[in-house]
């Protein structure tokens, strides 16, 4: 009897559990983060459908956290999917993320209200945004139980409660003024200002001489150069002459006079202005609106997408500093655009300014007068710190033209002309141009020879009696003296080999070193910094190519031969260097062996507070050359400029009496062109208190010999640096910066050489 009663009691409990307890369990509130709605009866029976509404909600919110919109869409009810496509769903969430500038989000489930077929999950979501900080809102998610699986009956309130009734989110961006870029002395290279864009309409000119005189003073260009920039055969055309900062227009031709000149068109626009027609444009760069390919990136950083951003140079590298931090106001508006409420807001933070190591006056004069219309590059380094004082690439371009606010750039086709130029003006040849080094490499060969112990600097090592080299079977090398009909060098020690740039002598040295250890010269070149990037920050540079016995085998080129060694010893073959690399190691030779990392950044400064970056010299290596051997190289390089038969002596008459200069000529053959590239490198050794010693490199492409072309260019850099202005006309100039002939006349006293 007791067993029967007991069985009936259990049956009653089960019935009560099924019809009373189960509904109570299904209709409940949960307030625990990370809790599950799957519960069991006291008898251990599972009384809910699986998966639970909460687990479905969590899966949906986890997908939101990871931006897995495909996963989120798969969790929607079929009715919801019928009303919105997957692409529309993804775009809705992406637009919210972009508008609110969400970086990450977190959530917390507050409660779950359930019936067998429906559930309402209340949750709190926190948007961690770029512009307006953290935004925390409570909202709800509706779910339906469809065939035992919980699905989200989605609407826009699932994102934010304010989005009911078709409301929308709008972010008003409040960017600060863009930061300026300065030279080392605080002179602006790029700043916000009133840009005066100047052009000429030939048919309206009534007094050309007065016009040219005025324009020359305003744009700081020679009259002769300006005259070549317009054509009377097209009297109604607009010819851009340049743009200047309105505040810089001086008394010689004031703005009022300039604007009234017949034939001159003047437009004033307030915008980002690059001084001097884009001084150091390859370093400074330019700004434009984000390209379609990059727009998503800037949106992810909190931009509105229509700002002007850095595209190249320091403008691009320093975007995070120059742009400052935007403020924002996040609004809710109706579908008709009426204001509903403010969700969050923040104030902008001021941009920082970038100060470079450049000297604006030195850079400007080098750009205007050193290279002219030739193609090439010039680099000037502080010999003892690695600071870049000037970095010029020719042809250059005017950064102002790329600004959408520039009339000249947008309306005259100047940007298209720059992009279509076969000389590729946008490439920074100083840091990205790759060239064979020619005879400048003999500095490295000499270093390897001295350090090998096989040679010393002053003992006779070679007797050049013919100008021909025949020591390597199957190869006959011809020295440059044959072409110039100069008598053979005769007996040479290693210092004289460099002073005279004797190819046959260096071939002799290279072959001896090759037989001793084929790695001696390549390893020395690597220690001088070739075949690797310089480490400069803010400027894109190339590593170049340094062939060696290992690299030749790795590339399938076979064994390193004596011919490879001979080619490399005089800077030919597959060796490729940048002018910046060369300037760096020339500075190291001059300063006693310290290889510095070139630096273009002097400081980065906020309007208030300490700089976030301040220049300090950075050592990246020491030349593996003893002081005795280094002094021998220095003596030989000084002889190139000062010795009566040095290859650059003629080019430095006069100035070498004023300043201590050491250098090396280089003439590098190119396979694709008849004319070689002209190199000259130099460093000074004056120890002046207010003028640090410098290293200078000039290369002119496909033009001729280093002593004829590049050496005068380096001389001009020295004249500007020490004397404040050019003082000696090139043989091919009519006036400074204007080419009269591209064939300099050599005099009998001159001894041209590679």
Mean pLDDT in residue range 11-30: 38
pLDDT tens across 317-369, in order? Answer: 999 999 999 999 999 999 998 999 999 999 999 999 999 999 999 999 999 99
pLDDT tens across 136-175, in order? Answer: 999 999 999 998 899 999 999 999 999 998 999 999 999 9
User: In the CATH hierarchy, which fold is given to the domain comprising 438-589+596-629?
Assistant: Beta-lactamase (3.40.710)
Query: In this structure, are strands 181-182 and 353-356 parallel, antiparallel, or unpaired?
Result: parallel
Which residues belong to CATH 3.40.710.10 in the chain? 438-589+596-629
The tokens describing 149, both together, are 């699986």
Can you tell me the distance from the alpha carbon of 133 to that of 326, in angstroms, rounded to the nearest whole number?
A: 12
- The domain 53-166 having CATH identifier 3.20.20.140: the answer here is no
- Which residues have a Cβ under 8 Å from the Cβ of 502 and sit 6 or more positions away? 462, 464, 479, 489, 492, 496
pLDDT tens across 282-294, in order? Answer: 999 999 999 999 9
Which residues belong to CATH 3.90.1310.10 in the chain? 169-352
- Phi, psi angles (nearest 5°) of residue 551: -65, -35
Please tell me the predicted confidence (pLDDT) of residue 485: 84
392, 366 contact by CB (below 8 A): yes
- The domain 360-414+425-431+648-739 having CATH identifier 3.30.450.330: the answer here is yes
pLDDT tens across 396-451, in order? Answer: 999 999 988 887 877 778 888 899 999 999 999 999 999 999 999 999 999 999 99
Which residues belong to CATH 3.30.450.330 in the chain? 360-414+425-431+648-739
Mean pLDDT in residue range 508-516: 97
Output the DSSP codes for 380-415: EEETTT-BEEEEEEES---GGGGSTT-HHHHHSSHH
Angle between the N-to-C axes of helices 562-569 and 503-516, in degrees from 0 to 180, rounded to the nearest 10: 130
The tokens describing 355, both together, are 């100060």
Please tell me the predicted confidence (pLDDT) of residue 744: 61
Can you tell me the distance from the alpha carbon of 53 to that of 489, in angstroms, rounded to the nearest whole number?
A: 94
Dihedral of the alpha carbons of 614, 620, 623, 628, in degrees to the nearest 10 = 40
Fill in the DSSP letter of residue 569: H
Q: Which CATH number fits domain 169-352: 3.90.1310.10, 3.30.70.100, 3.40.50.720, 1.10.540.10?
A: 3.90.1310.10
Please tell me the predicted confidence (pLDDT) of residue 40: 38
- Band the pLDDT of 24: cuts 50, 70, 90: very low
| Cα distance from N-terminal residue to C-terminal residue, the chain | 122
SS3 501: coil
Please tell me the predicted confidence (pLDDT) of residue 743: 58
- Band the pLDDT of 30: cuts 50, 70, 90: very low
The tokens describing 349, both together, are 């933070």
- Which residues have a Cβ under 8 Å from the Cβ of 706 and sit 6 or more positions away? 438, 439, 440, 647, 648, 665, 666, 667, 678, 679, 680, 753, 754
């Amino acid at each position: 009897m007791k067993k029967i009663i007991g069985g009936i009691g259990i049956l009653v409990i089960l019935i009560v559990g099924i019809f009373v307890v189960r509904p109570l369990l299904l209709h409940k509130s949960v307030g625990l983060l990370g809790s599950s709605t799957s519960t069991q009866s006291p008898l251990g029976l599972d009384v809910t459908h699986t998966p639970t509404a909460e687990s479905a909600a969590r899966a949906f919110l986890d997908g939101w956290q990871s931006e897995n919109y495909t996963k989120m869409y798969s969790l929607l009810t079929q009715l919801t999917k019928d009303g919105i496509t997957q692409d529309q769903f993804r775009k809705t969430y992406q637009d919210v993320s972009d508008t609110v500038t969400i970086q990450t989000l977190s959530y917390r489930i507050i409660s779950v209200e359930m019936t067998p077929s429906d559930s309402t999950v209340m949750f709190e979501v926190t948007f961690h945004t770029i512009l307006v900080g953290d935004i925390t809102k409570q909202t709800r998610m509706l779910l339906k139980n469809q065939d035992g699986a919980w699905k989200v009956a989605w609407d826009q309130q699932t994102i934010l409660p304010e989005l009911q009734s078709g409301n929308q989110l709008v972010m008003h961006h409040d960017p600060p003024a863009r930061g300026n870029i300065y030279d080392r002395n605080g002179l602006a290279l790029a700043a916000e200002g009133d840009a005066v864009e100047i052009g000429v309409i030939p048919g309206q000119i009534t007094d050309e001489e007065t016009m040219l005189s005025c324009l020359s003073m305003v744009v700081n260009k020679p009259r002769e150069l300006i005259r070549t920039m317009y054509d009377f055969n097209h009297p109604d055309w607009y010819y851009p002459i340049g743009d200047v900062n309105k505040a810089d227009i001086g008394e010689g031709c004031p703005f009022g006079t300039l604007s009234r000149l017949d034939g001159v068109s003047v437009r004033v626009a307030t915008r980002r202005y690059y001084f001097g027609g884009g001084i150091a444009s390859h370093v400074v760069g330019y700004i434009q609106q984000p390209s379609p390919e990059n727009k998503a990136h800037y949106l992810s950083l909190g931009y509105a997408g229509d700002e002007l951003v850095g595209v190249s140079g320091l403008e691009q590298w320093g975007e995070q500093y120059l742009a400052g931090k935007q403020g924002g106001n996040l609004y809710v508006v109706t579908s008709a655009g009426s204001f509903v409420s403010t969700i969050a807001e923040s104030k902008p933070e001021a941009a920082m300014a970038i100060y470079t190591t450049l000297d604006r006056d030195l850079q400007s004069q080098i750009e205007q007068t050193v290279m002219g219309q030739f193609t090439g590059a010039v680099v000037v380094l502080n010999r003892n710190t690695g600071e870049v004082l000037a970095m010029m690439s020719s042809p250059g371009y005017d950064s102002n033209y790329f600004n959408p606010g520039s009339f000249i750039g947008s309306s005259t086709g100047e940007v298209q002309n720059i992009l279509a130029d076969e000389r590729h003006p946008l490439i920074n040849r100083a840091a990205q141009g790759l060239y064979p080094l020619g005879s400048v490499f003999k500095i490295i060969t000499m270093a390897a020879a001295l350090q090998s112990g096989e040679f010393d600097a002053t003992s006779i090592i070679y007797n050049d009696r013919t100008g021909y080299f025949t020591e390597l079977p199957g190869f006959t090398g011809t020295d440059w003296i044959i072409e110039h009909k100069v008598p053979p060098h005769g007996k040479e020690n290693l210092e004289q080999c460099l002073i005279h740039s004797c190819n046959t002598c260096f071939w002799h040295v290279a072959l001896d070193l090759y037989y001793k250890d084929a790695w001696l010269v390549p390893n020395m070149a690597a220690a001088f910094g070739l075949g690797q990037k310089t480490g400069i920050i803010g400027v894109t540079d190339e590593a170049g190519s340094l062939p060696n016995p290992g690299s030749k085998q790795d590339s399938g080129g076979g064994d390193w031969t004596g011919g490879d060694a001979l080619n490399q010893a005089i800077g030919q073959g597959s060796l490729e260097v940048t002018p910046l690399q060369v300037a760096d190691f020339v500075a190291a030779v001059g300063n006693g062996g310290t290889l510095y990392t070139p630096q273009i950044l002097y400081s980065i400064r906020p309007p208030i507070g300490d700089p976030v970056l301040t220049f300090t010299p950075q050592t990246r290596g020491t030349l593996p050359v003893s002081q005795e051997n280094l002094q021998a190289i220095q003596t030989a390089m000084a002889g190139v400029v000062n010795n009566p038969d040095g290859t650059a002596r003629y080019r430095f008459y006069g100035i070498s009496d004023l300043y201590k200069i050491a250098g090396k000529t280089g003439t590098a053959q190119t396979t694709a062109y008849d004319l070689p590239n002209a190199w000259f490198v130099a460093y000074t050794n004056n120890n002046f208190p207010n003028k640090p010693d410098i290293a200078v490199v000039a290369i002119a492409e496909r033009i001729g010999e280093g002593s004829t072309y590049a050496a005068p260019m380096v001389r001009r850099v020295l004249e500007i640096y020490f004397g404040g202005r050019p003082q000696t006309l090139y043989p091919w100039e009519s006036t400074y910066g204007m080419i009269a002939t591209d064939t300099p006349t050599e005099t009998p006293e001159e001894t041209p050489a590679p």
